[in-house]
Amino acid sequence: MKRRDFLKAGTVAAGAAAITAASNLPKPAIAQDRIEMNIVSTWPRDFPGLGTGAQRFAQRVQDISDGRIQVQYFAAGERVGAFDAFDEVASGNAQAYHGADYYWKGRHPGWAYYTAVPFGLTYVEMNAWIRFMGGQELWDELGAEFGIKGLPCGSTGVQMGGWFNKEINSADDLKGLKMRMPGLGGDVLAKLGASPVSLPGGQIYENLVSGSIDATEWVGPWNDYAMKLYEAAKYYYYPGYHEPGSMLAVGMNKSWWEGLSANDQMLIESAATVENDVMMSEFNANNGAYLRKLIQEQGVQVRKFNDDVYDAFGEASAEVFEEARAHSDLANRIHESFLAARADVGGWMNLADAAYTQQRNRVLGV
């Protein structure tokens, strides 16, 4: 007999006792074994890759659970603003958010490492660190300070360097620029004399068109085309030093998470793992085609940051990292673990993926 049938078959007295007991159960337990999961997001609804990926995750959780986990998804601004998602979940007003954890670096610099940091980890390297090299355990320790349980739930891969209305031929060309760039990447810009601005995705276009900001980074060709950033800036620079493998997260209220059964935790984790792979695959499938559209249809000029500019990014990044790791013992341990993963996995990648790609391009004349 199913549990819900058993409960219905009880006496009135037993039903009253069950109601009393249910009121003392953890938050996930609600009427008829249904679990409420409200997800607030930092992305616009239906936004390619980011928004659609978050929506896919929400739908997948509900579908896999056969509707037992009742998921309601709220895009940025539908329930709370993009940058209010963290507080909404930490307070228990919502059960989960989907977003980029570097938005919360003002609370603790450790959060930045769980999206992307300058000269950091690629998608492949990040997955290795999170799953097998201590990254998740440190993330759990960080999240516990704020009542959050985080899991990987998407990635954009390596991002572009940004949209500019002038050429960037030296670090001096960055001075005085008001540029949208969150995370530690924005701190690097500040070291070089620029003024970093943190804006959610839904506010970038209007601020760039109006001149409130001079330049912006967003994601890559697929997203940037959808945002129509080509209407407001002429030069599209690569590669992005600031986000080499941006990981997105589902952050859940820790008490709510701990009140779930082991099976339901596994269900949500599995749904997040699937989306982590699907989103990355979707970005890779679309970025090449949309890069061609930007160049051929919109006349965008794609430029590569020269070595001098990249060296300046590197020197400023070293200063930013020293400041970040000095914040606390936990920040330092996250940083050290991150560096160890970069050295180990990155060293292997140099002999594997990078070496193969270099030779493939040489042989094929790419």
Give pLDDT, residue 33: 85
Give mean pLDDT, residues 87-93.
99
Q: Tell me the average pLDDT of the chain.
A: 93
Q: Where are the alpha helices (DSSP H) in 197-253?
A: 204-210, 221-227
Q: Does 192 have pLDDT greater than 80?
A: yes
| Range of weakest confidence among 3-12, 200-209, 308-317 | 3-12
Encode pLDDT of 115-125 as tens digits.
Answer: 999 999 999 99
How is residue 214 written in tokens? Answer: 């001079």
DSSP3 helix / strand / coil % (the chain, rounded to 5): 55, 15, 30
Give mean pLDDT, residues 268-279.
99
Instruction: Pick the closest to residue 96 from 271, 220, 213, 238 (CA basis).
Output: 271
- Residue 40 forms beta bridges with which residues? 74, 97
Annotation-wise, does 159 bind a ligand? yes
The full set of domains in the chain, from first to last, is 27-155+246-284 (3.40.190.170), 162-244+299-364 (3.40.190.10)
Annotation-wise, does 104 bind a ligand? no
How is residue 162 written in tokens? Answer: 């940004």
Give mean pLDDT, residues 100-112.
98
Give pLDDT, residue 28: 53
What is the identity of the amino acid at 191? Answer: K
Give pLDDT, residue 32: 65
Contact indicator for 255, 228 with CB cutoff of 8 Å = no
CA–CA separation, 345 vs 358, rounded Å? 18
User: What is the CB neighbour count within 10 angstroms for residue 252?
Assistant: 26
Rg (CA), the chain: 22
Measured CA distances, 289 to 22, 220, 285 (Å): 53, 11, 8
Annotation-wise, does 217 bind a ligand? yes
Any idea which residue has 């082991």 for tokens?
Answer: 262
Q: Does 8 have pLDDT greater than 90?
A: no
Instruction: Pick the closest to residue 94 from 75, 67, 121, 116 (CA basis).
Output: 75
Give pLDDT, residue 22: 34
Contact indicator for 116, 102 with CB cutoff of 8 Å = yes
CA–CA separation, 296 vs 308, rounded Å? 29
Dihedral sign for Cα atoms in the order 155, 152, 111, 205: positive
Contact indicator for 102, 111 with CB cutoff of 8 Å = yes
How is residue 246 written in tokens? Answer: 């941006």
Annotation-wise, does 243 bind a ligand? yes
Give pLDDT, residue 14: 37
Q: Does 177 have pLDDT greater than 50?
A: yes
> What is the band of 228 on the pLDDT scale with cuts at 50, 70, 90?
very high
How is residue 40 written in tokens? Answer: 């607030």
Annotation-wise, does 180 bind a ligand? yes
